[in-house]
Amino acid sequence: MEQFNWWVIVPVFAALIALRWRRTSMLTWFAAWWIGMFLVVRYGFTVPVPMSVVKLYMGLVTAALVAYVLTDAGRIREVTEPLAAFMTERRYLPYLAAVALFIPAAVAFGIYRDMTRVPQPPSFARTIHPATPAEPIDVHGTSYDLGTADNPYRELEETDPAAFKARVENGRKIYYENCFYCHGDVMAGDGMFAHALNPIPTNFQDPGTIAMLREAFLFWRIAKGGPGLPAEGGPWASAMPAWENFLSEDEMWNVILFLYEFTGHRPRAVELH
């Protein structure tokens, strides 16, 4: 029962029940129910209810209250007469003027507040990378200690540029067969599936991603994907597949070479302690 904020719900319903016993005007009753339902939907739950859902419910509440009033000529009169009086009788003129000024002022304030709000990165932004598992990971029967593991083909860049290039080309093929649907054709994280995903696929062009990471980190993330993310710091809710189910170790190391080659970033080196 801790999903309800009883300190909101109990007073609201107590007030509505109290109104039931006092003969209040239909207009007061209408307003009281409307405000009461708003308070319950907006603040009655411990999880924050998104404003779009609140608006949807308030639309239903408004329709139900209007339907109730419209079913009876007496109720219609009880609601419209005070409103008509408010808008036409001289003695209410200052209040009417105040309402006429308040509405545009409230809209202006809302716009001002939205325009001056400091943009916040979405809470699922992939700027923070989880720590790699301390235990060695197992990929296709090989055990990798992520603290010391490195791309076995990186050294070819110096020792055998032709062989290195062949591996990069193989990585390119793997990328465009498997990864670009999500990570995009220029690796900007905007592939055709990207918009359906939250968190969105990592933008490898962003210097805050692979340029800050070691190749072993990428190997771990590619092999184990979203399912392999640690429980701490979650929920990650990542759609990144565990590629060890589809690619060989060689293919994963090669696609990593291609990610760096294509973006022009350099991997972070292994830190020697």
Taking residues 101 to 140 in sequence order and writing x for each that binds ligand HEC by CB under 6 A, - otherwise, the string is -------------------------x--x-----------
Residue whose entry in the numeric block shows the structure tokens 């036409």: 88
Using the rule CB under 6 A, give the single segment among 74-82, 97-105, 161-169, 196-204 that binds ligand HEC.
196-204
Distance CA 56, CA 224 (A): 40
Which residue, 26 or 215, is less far from ligand HEC as judged by CB? Answer: 215
Residue 197 lies near ligand HEC (rule: CB under 6 A):
yes
Residue 16 lies near ligand HEC (rule: CB under 6 A):
no
The count of other CB atoms within 10 Å of the CB of residue 239 is 16
Structure tokens at 4: 């309800």
Which residue, 170 or 209, is less far from ligand HEC as judged by CB? Answer: 209
Residue 151 lies near ligand HEC (rule: CB under 6 A):
no
Distance CA 251, CA 5 (A): 53
Count how many Cα atoms sit within 13 Å of the Cα of residue 114 in the half-sphere of its side chain.
6
Residue 205 lies near ligand HEC (rule: CB under 6 A):
no
Minimum CB–partner distance for residue 184 and ligand HEC (Å): 10
Cβ proximity of 15 and 24 under 8 Å: no
Using the rule CB under 6 A, give the single segment among 34-42, 96-104, 240-248, 263-271 that binds ligand HEC.
240-248
Distance CA 3, CA 122 (A): 25
Distance CA 128, CA 227 (A): 17
Residue 182 lies near ligand HEC (rule: CB under 6 A):
yes
Residue choice 68, 199, 211, 262 for contact with ligand HEC (CB under 6 A): 199
Distance CA 105, CA 17 (A): 34
Is residue 115 classed exposed, middle or buried when 0-12, 13-18 and 19+ CB atoms within 10 A define those classes? exposed
Residue 254 lies near ligand HEC (rule: CB under 6 A):
no
Residues in contact with 270: Cβ distance below 8 Å, sequence separation at least 6, in sequence order: 148, 150, 214, 216
Which residue, 147 or 199, is less far from ligand HEC as judged by CB? Answer: 199
The C-alpha angle with vertex 221 and arms to 241 and 207, in degrees rounded to 5, equals 115
Residue choice 178, 190, 261, 268 for contact with ligand HEC (CB under 6 A): 178
Which residue, 37 or 182, is less far from ligand HEC as judged by CB? Answer: 182
Residue 255 lies near ligand HEC (rule: CB under 6 A):
yes
Q: List residues binding ligand HEC (CB under 6 A).
A: 126, 129, 178-179, 181-183, 193, 197, 199, 201-202, 209, 218, 221-222, 226, 238-241, 243, 255
